[in-house]
Structure 1
Amino acid sequence: MTVDAHKETLEFKAEVSQVLDLVIRSLYSNKEIFLRELISNASDAAEKLRFEALTDDQLFEDDPDLRVRVLVDKDAGTVTVSDNGIGLSRQEVIDTIGSIASSGTRRFVEALQSREGGSDAAGDNALIGQFGVGFYSAYIVADKVTLISRRAGLTAEHGVRWESDGRGSYTLETVEKPGRGTDVILHLKDDEKEFLDAWRLRSVIGKFSDHIAVPVEMQKEQYEAEDEEKEAQAEDRAPEFEQVNRGTALWMRSKSDLSDDDYKEFYKHISHDFEEPLAWAHNRVEGTNEYTTLLYLPKRAPWDMWDREQKHGVKLYVKRVFIMDEADKLLPHWLRFVKGVVDSDDLPLNVSREILQHNRKIDTIRGANVKRILSLLETMAKDEPEKYQQFWDEFGKVLKEGPGEDFANRERIGGLLRFSTTVSEGTEQSVSLDTYIERMQEGQDKIYYITADSPAAARHSPHLEVFRKKGVEVLLLSDRVDEWLVSHLHEYKGKHLQSVTKGKLDLGELADKEAQEKTEQAEKEHGDLLKRLKESLGERVQEVRVSTRLVDSPACIVVGEHDMSANLARVLKAVGQEAPDMKPTLELNLEHPLVKRLEAESDGSRFDDLGMILFDQAQLAEGGQLDDPAAFVGRLNKLMLNMFMSGG
């Protein structure tokens, strides 16, 4: 770090060059968006000042008319986006501008590096959309960017000047700045001089930023001057500015006056996403509680969706005044991917997060928002199944949190869930619970499922053997959240959800009466084997019994009907939490050659070894870990050597 009075040169905190290369390479074909992103940032700064000034009107500094201005200097080759909003302090510049959205940069770059196959414009756009690097889009058209800012409330000598060519470092300098707010000065590349044309900039503003509530202004002379004489006259008087965007809150306009493009551009403004939204819902509610909502479903999950410390929520306005960015009380956590705006006519302008927590009107708005999103998803699932599948692939794991957090809407959320099953495996299409019920066999009264720590473990579990034999469909659940889901979603449309790995197998009317009688008879005839093996395994098992689940495998382990599943116990241990020490039941397939060999074994030591091998194999088949892997390998090697020495 080089320090000269109040000026210093700093290295970017993150791999800025990689991010900038990505932005420039991927978005070059749509260069205009740099202006949209910078105006959006400036608009946000103005709205934040308006909110902070509710409790301290001195922040306006005798300049209450908030605005964004776009200025062109043809001689200097610069375009400046200027606002008189909240501004930035020196430390805020370092924390936000100097480190590229700070907390998530490393994850973003890791995602970039993990992608295979080199440059992929669609993939790059997806990553940019997930990350939101709006300010850095300036480098699409500029080879140097200067930012001059002063936070409202600080005196003029506390201005800060940031400058960088985007190649790994930036300079930071304390400067005098009489007016609050931020100026972003773009030093245009030689081949980007088209953006020095004021008419060109005005058309871009009309295309991308017409909906922004803060006025966007440009100098009249820059687009009205028709000849050199008029321009010369203009230089002799103070510049006049004219608003070039509509400047009305888009969500307050009638739906009939808005096009799909209007909605899409507004989404990009509020979310800083480079991709279009998947769907949206726009509603005005009148009566005792009046408010307007405009809610969006993104196409892709944001990079921070699984960050529990990251705040998520929609933008809250009161009477068109911006209040807060992440109003997390207006939507439940399981809908944290939803973006949008809520504008209330009834809440006080000085509303705080604490007030939101204890406000009945907020509860009403929250409940209505949930119903609108559910309706939007239900319509999409019914009318556009491919589009819904795209949504599910991105946000399905989050939606699965819903039944555990929202009891009132549990059934509706259940109808939106999608699963891989023993029938759908190998296809890209997932299955709804309604489709599962439609395909249930005659006499089937349960929805069967299995949980495992991976799709392969679920698909190849020995517990599925009898279900495959009978053609009974089973849900294959392998997401961590699935254990949370089935612990709260006990039934759907009157059909009980039943784990195939818990308790004695109950197939109801699907059960083969003759097979049941045969099993009961086998329990008696092979009682000595079951007793002998239970004694051999000791405290490792609760019970040893004859299995009705197995067809091809020699053994499997089962937990009690009301016990925690083995998979959930593994999940808890993996995240450092305690799980109860449960003793499973070992079930045997009496028709399997290994079990027959075990029953015929007279040598006690070999019987114990073979019994432990069967038990350990059953644990491994369920994705479990062995307490003593070396002992398992030793027993297996001994068994194989005995087989080779005996010639078979």
Structure 2
Amino acid sequence: MSGKVETYEFQAESRQLLQLVVHSIYSNKDIFLRELISNASDALDKLRLESLRDGELKADTSDLHIALEPDEEARTLTVRDNGIGMSREEVVALIGTIAKSGTAEFARKLKEANENRDGAASADLIGSFGVGFYSSFMVADRVTLVTRRAGEEAGTRWESAGEGTYDLQTVDDAPQGTSVTLHLKEVDTEDHLYDYTKPDALRAIVRQHSDFIPWPVRLPVEKTGEDGEVESTVETVNSMKALWSRSPEEITAEEYGEFYRHVSHDWSDPLETIHTRAEGTFEYQALLFIPSRAPLDLFHQDARRGVNLYVKRVFIMDDCKTLLPDYLRFVKGVVDAQDLSLNVSREALQQDRQIQLMHRRLVKKVLSTVKALRGKDPEKYRTFWQEFGRAVKEGLLSDFDNRETLLEACSFPSTEDPKEETGLRAYKERMKEGQEHIYYLTGPSRARLESSPHIEAFREKGYEVLLLTDPVDEVWVEQVTEYDGTPLQSIAKGQVDLESSEDDEESEEETARRTEEFGPLLAWLGDSLGEDIKEVRLSSRLTTSPACIVGDAGDVTPTLEKMYRAMGQELPHVKRILELNPEHALVVALREAHTKDSEDPGLTETAELLHGMALLAEGGELSDPARFSRLLAGRLAAGL
């Protein structure tokens, strides 16, 4: 006996997304079968694990498999598994609604791809958001799902035509597991589609896309016997060989690609494949992939991350975060350990010595692969860094053991080349004779940094400066003080000495003369601006600007100060230093005016304007913009 049918509407955002999926253009519609088989395989994995952990679970695990059931007359295809199944609540959460984090962004990008008639881009987006189940509507007018969770009595029937609503019904006679029945559209010969009711077509798709699935994929077929009679039988159409257990020499790039798509639900090819094994006292096999593009939820807190953990080919969990650090959260794949307990929990994993050993080895393997890419395949490395560089740099804050390797793997924009980023090794090779520091400047954009007053003398003297514009750069440079024995120095902090050794004696004499000449002005400015600055001094880093604001060597930057406050961490306001360019006409005129009449009230306004201009030049904020505007307007009017 079954319950009454209830009809629900998709959420507005979900309905829009579903329509985009249904009516999108794809380069390969056969992919829907891979997605359904992959989901079925996950359900079987989870049932076997649950049965191992819960001895009282009422579930049949004697013949776990996936069945393909085509019906040519009814024009349907059913993909059935006897896995973990779903409760009614899970059906609503996982199937009845699509809205997850990033759904609106996904819908926008998918719509753009469709308007541009870019089928490959559409498919990539579908995979990256993990809504592969809805690819069924590419080939079906209507989809019916019947499921019963292992251990429960009643099942659930879900059905939708992909037009904005879905039906739910409680059913009492549902078998354990899940069946998805596709009511197929007519075959479009112009689109070169298979007829998905034909066993030969289904066999070909499974062998191309799902051959490595560890569970038997069964297909009913008819064979002619020796006596000429047609016999019905069931054929297992996949090899079921765990790809990670095979020798890399035996595996083709296409097989690696299909397995990557299975574990990642990404429809594009991986950028790099890492196939490794450890033997000896502790054995494991790992097949890891670096994607070719970052998922749109890479920086979302609630995004799923981690690789699949197996023990002796038994699935344990699909998002094992313990095996790789968070800054490598984009890595996908499988790790199969030989000596862990099948009942190991997420909490126990964090304390397990073998897991910690695997973690260290896998991190080193991934980082060495990335580091090698720079020399082996620069174009592939550039793609990697463009997609994942921001995430990788997070490791400079947390992974002290691998910090040097991380620094070797990193790239940064610099003044050397406006188009190409540079590694620190290459920077050191280009350092000028006598240069003792790796110079850098942090800020919101390259354009802002290139026009900063702080960079003027470095550009004039030919010193290369790293231009660090990612928010994470503000943080890691506070903790990483050197690379390969060479100190890192911000050109917006501390004292800067760019004079060569040959000019040292002349420079010292010139500094002494200018200090005596400008001493009274510097002291007066320090008193006048004392609420806003901690010191006024002459600058050696300016060539065309009259003044700039710098910090002491140990001070946090204004940007980092704002970041801490945005996170709710209040910091005491850090006063900074005003540096003057003794060669600039404005500074020279101010010194002369101060020498003539240090009580002139106009000098105080000039000091405020000078300080305000220095703040604005570095992208800072004025404490009183209205007053600055009035003073500037008055000076401009007086000059006309």
User: In which range does the TM-score fall when normalised by the shorter chain?
Assistant: over 0.9
The amino acid that maps onto 2:358 is I
Quick one: distance in 2 between partners of 1:486 and 1:370?
22
Q: Secondary structure at the match of 1:199?
A: helix
Quick one: distance in 1 between partners of 2:350 and 2:392?
23
Gaps of 5+ in 1: 235-239
For the 8 Å contact 2:294–2:387, the answer to whether it is kept is yes
Quick one: distance in 2 between partners of 1:544 and 1:302?
48
Aligned: 1:637 with 2:637: no
Residue of 484, 489, 494 corresponding to 2:480: 489
1:506 CA displacement: 3.3
The amino acid that maps onto 1:68 is I
Instruction: State the Cα RMSD in Å.
Output: 2.3
Counterparts of 1:44-83 in structure 2, within 5 Å, are 44-59=42-57, 61-83=59-81
Aligned to 1:7: 5
Q: Secondary structure at the match of 1:458?
A: helix
Q: Pick which of 408-417 and 241-250 moved more.
A: 241-250
Compared with structure 1, are the counterparts of its residues 160 and 378 closer, same or farther at alpha carbon in structure 2 (3 Å cutoff)?
Answer: same
Q: Secondary structure at the match of 2:401?
A: helix
Residue of 578, 581, 587 corresponding to 2:579: 587
Quick one: distance in 2 between partners of 1:333 and 1:96?
25
Identity %: 47
1:490 CA displacement: 1.3
Counterparts of 1:247-646 in structure 2, within 5 Å, are 247-425=240-418, 427=419, 429-507=420-498, 509=500, 512-513=503-504, 514-601=506-593, 602=597, 604-644=600-640
For the 8 Å contact 2:323–2:356, the answer to whether it is kept is yes
The amino acid that maps onto 2:26 is Y
Q: Pick which of 483-492 and 290-299 moved more.
A: 483-492
Q: Secondary structure at the match of 2:102?
A: helix
For the 8 Å contact 1:444–1:508, the answer to whether it is kept is no
Aligned to 2:96: 98
1:118 CA displacement: 4.5
1:16 CA displacement: 3.4
Q: Secondary structure at the match of 1:487?
A: helix
Aligned to 2:191: none
Quick one: distance in 2 between partners of 1:419 and 1:434?
11
Q: Secondary structure at the match of 1:538?
A: coil
Quick one: distance in 1 between partners of 2:339 and 2:502?
60
Quick one: distance in 1 between partners of 2:564 and 2:296?
24
Deviations 1:590-637 (A, max 9, x none): 222222333344473321122111111211222221221111111111
Deviations 1:542-601 (A, max 9, x none): 011111110011110111111112221133234443233111010011222222333344
Quick one: distance in 2 between partners of 1:458 and 1:177?
68
Aligned: 1:165 with 2:156: no
Q: Pick which of 39-48 and 298-307 moved more.
A: 298-307
Q: Secondary structure at the match of 1:586?
A: strand
Q: Pick which of 281-290 and 198-207 moved more.
A: 281-290
Quick one: distance in 1 between partners of 2:429 and 2:144?
63
Compared with structure 1, are the counterparts of its residues 262 and 14 closer, same or farther at alpha carbon in structure 2 (3 Å cutoff)?
Answer: farther
Q: Secondary structure at the match of 1:408?
A: coil
Show structure 1 runs of 4+ deviating over 4 A: 24-27, 110-119, 508-512
Quick one: distance in 1 between partners of 2:144 and 2:503?
78
The amino acid that maps onto 1:529 is L
1:147 CA displacement: 0.9
Q: Secondary structure at the match of 1:190?
A: coil
The amino acid that maps onto 2:323 is L
Q: Secondary structure at the match of 1:39?
A: helix
The amino acid that maps onto 2:261 is K
1:27 CA displacement: 5.2
Q: Pick which of 600-609 and 529-538 moved more.
A: 600-609
1:320 CA displacement: 0.6
1:424 CA displacement: 1.5
Aligned to 1:214: 215
Deviations 1:75-96 (A, max 9, x none): 1111111111111111111111
Aligned to 2:170: 174
Compared with structure 1, are the counterparts of its residues 163 and 443 closer, same or farther at alpha carbon in structure 2 (3 Å cutoff)?
Answer: same
Aligned to 1:124: 122
The amino acid that maps onto 2:302 is E
Aligned to 1:147: 145
Q: Pick which of 118-127 and 365-374 moved more.
A: 118-127
Compared with structure 1, are the counterparts of its residues 263 and 115 closer, same or farther at alpha carbon in structure 2 (3 Å cutoff)?
Answer: closer
Compared with structure 1, are the counterparts of its residues 510 and 203 closer, same or farther at alpha carbon in structure 2 (3 Å cutoff)?
Answer: farther
Q: Pick which of 41-50 and 170-179 moved more.
A: 170-179
The amino acid that maps onto 1:172 is L
Aligned to 1:237: none
For the 8 Å contact 1:213–1:249, the answer to whether it is kept is yes
The amino acid that maps onto 1:181 is G
Q: Secondary structure at the match of 2:529?
A: helix
1:388 CA displacement: 0.3
